[in-house]
Amino acid sequence: MTHAMPKLPYAMDALEPNMSQETLEYHYGKHLQTYINNLNNLVIGTKYENSPLEYIVSNADGPLFNNAAQAWNHTFFFESFSPTPQQAPTGKLLEAINRDFGSFDAFKEQFTKAAVGIFGSGWAWLVTNDAGVLSIVSESNAGNPLTKGLRPLLTCDVWEHAYYIDYRNSRPNFLNAFWNVVDWEKIEKRYEEK
């Protein structure tokens, strides 16, 4: 089974000025493509040759895990955005955010703090457990909360390649822009489908 590049649900320049076309050309077009190429090369001859991507992420280790997780994480990340996003959650997800973080603003503050605070490369995640309780998880490198039995709802890539073209060294400025393009309608669907 060959793993394919996901289709972006928007044009390469659609997230400007928050994420530039040049950033997407590198981040989606080159970094993600490389992880998928590596995954397709590494999986040949292993017991995961015909496994779905999520199964590989949940079970593999070493270089195969790293490239499979980076493929999954980036696909999930890029599918979280819209040029015309619903700017805040509603419904059951908003209720859960208010219950577990106090308010939407308090959640954004805690998630931003987690993302900015990751030392080196990694990913900040909003996750739910099987009971629908939300939490924020920080992961290094290719880390993915699926390996801890948690279901991802939202992620922010804090590898420097995610922001260096647009924001240079300023990860906080990237986080400010990230919030402008997160489509909460999609995040709500993930929570309701979990």
Choose the binding region for Mn ion from 43-51, 142-150, 154-162, 181-189 (rule: CB under 5 A). 154-162
**Cα–Cα distance for residue pair 159/164, rounded to 1 Å:** 9
**Cα–Cα distance for residue pair 178/126, rounded to 1 Å:** 14
Would you count residue 159 as binding Mn ion (CB under 5 A)?
yes
Would you count residue 111 as binding Mn ion (CB under 5 A)?
no
Taking the least distance from each CB to Mn ion, the nearer of 27 and 186 is: 27
C-alpha angle 60-159-52 in degrees, rounded to nearest 5: 30
- Which residues, numbered 68-97, are part of the site for Mn ion (CB under 5 A)? none
Taking the least distance from each CB to Mn ion, the nearer of 73 and 97 is: 73
Would you count residue 125 as binding Mn ion (CB under 5 A)?
no
Choose the binding region for Mn ion from 41-49, 81-89, 150-158, 168-176 (rule: CB under 5 A). 150-158
Write down the least CB distance from residue 157 to Mn ion, Å.
4
Write down the least CB distance from residue 85 to Mn ion, Å.
20
Would you count residue 191 as binding Mn ion (CB under 5 A)?
no
Write down the least CB distance from residue 12 to Mn ion, Å.
16
To which residue do tokens 């397709």 refer? Answer: 40
Instruction: Give the binding-site size for Mn ion (rule: CB under 5 A).
Output: 3
Would you count residue 157 as binding Mn ion (CB under 5 A)?
yes
| Nearest position to Mn ion, beta carbon | 157
Strand 134-140 to strand 122-128: parallel, antiparallel, or no bridges (unpaired)? antiparallel
Q: For binding to Mn ion (CB under 5 A), which residues are involved?
A: 157, 159, 162
